[in-house]
Amino acid sequence: MTDDDPGPALRTAALEELLVERGLVDPAVVDGFVRTYERDVGPRGGATVVARAWTDPRFREWLLRDGTAAIASLGFTGPQGEHMVVLEQTEQVHHVVVCTLCSCYPWPVLGLPPSWYKDPAYRARVVREPRTVLAEMGLDVPPERRIEVWDSSAEVRYLVLPRRPAGTDGLTAEQLAGLVGRDAMVGVAEAVAPS
C-alpha cells in the first residue's frame, strides 16, 4: 500500500463515523488534538531545543545528561515524552532512530510521526541496513562514520541533536531553529546550511 491508496483513509473515516455515531468520540476533541500536534507542537519544539543546545553550552551538557528535564524546562512535556534521551551527532558517529515494535515517537518535541516512520519497511530495514536506507532517503553517511540505530519504546523516546551547520556563528537561536527539520532530529537528514 502507498500513501495514495484510499483504503486506509476510507477505513479511518468509517471508523471515525461509527465512533461518533455511538457517542464514543467527540470529533471536535479529536480535531483539536490533531491540530495541536500538526500546527502548535510539531517539530518546532524540537528545533527550539536544538537551537538552544547549539547556543548554550551549559544547556547542551544538561540536555545530553538528562534530556527529559532539559526539554521540560523549555515547556515541552506530555504524553510520548515522559522519558527522553538525546543523542548527539558527531564526526565519528551518526545516530538514527526507529521504533521496531510500533511507532513510538517523541510527540512533544516532534509532533505527529511521519508516515515513513511508521512504515514496516523502514522499521525493519533501517536496523538491518541503515546506511542503505539513509542513502535512499537522501543522506549519504561517509563509510568512516559509524551508524548507531536506536530503538524507541514505550519506556524511552530519542531525540537526535544534529551537528550545527557551518557558517551559522552569527545567527540567532530563532534563525538556527529554522535550519532544523524533523528528519534531522530523527537522524535521517542533517540540519540544513543557511542559504
The reply to whether 86 and 176 lie within a common domain is yes
The reply to whether 88 and 181 lie within a common domain is yes
Q: Any catalytic annotation for residue 102?
A: yes
The reply to whether 37 and 47 lie within a common domain is no
Express each pLDDT in 67-88 by its tens digit. Answer: 999 999 999 998 888 899 999 9
- Which of 104, 115, 152, 195 is an active site residue? 104
- Which of 73, 102, 115, 153 is an active site residue? 102
The reply to whether 157 and 127 lie within a common domain is yes
The reply to whether 2 and 97 lie within a common domain is no
Asked whether the beta carbons of 149 and 128 are under 8 A apart, the reply is: no
Domain count, the chain: 2
Q: Which residue segment(s) compose the domain that 28 sits in?
A: 1-41
Q: Any catalytic annotation for residue 195?
A: no
- Pick from 57, 143, 56: which is nearest to 94 by CA? 143
The reply to whether 100 and 24 lie within a common domain is no
Under 8 Å CB-to-CB from 54, ≥6 apart: which residues?
60, 164, 168, 173, 176
Residue 172 forms part of a structural domain? yes
Express each pLDDT in 16-38 by its tens digit. Answer: 888 888 988 888 887 777 776 66
Over residues 45-55, the mean pLDDT reads 97
49: Cα separation from own chain's centroid: 12
Asked whether the beta carbons of 98 and 127 are under 8 A apart, the reply is: yes
Query: Which residues pair with residue 161 across a beta bridge?
Result: 88
State the DSSP H helix or E strand holding residue 84, giving kind and residue range, or none if neither: strand 84-88
Count of alpha carbons within 13 angstroms of residue 1, beta-carbon side = 11
The reply to whether 23 and 59 lie within a common domain is no
pTM, whole model, 2 decimals?
0.81
DSSP H helices, 27-97, are 27-35, 44-55, 57-65, 67-73
The reply to whether 81 and 28 lie within a common domain is no
Residue 96 forms part of a structural domain? yes
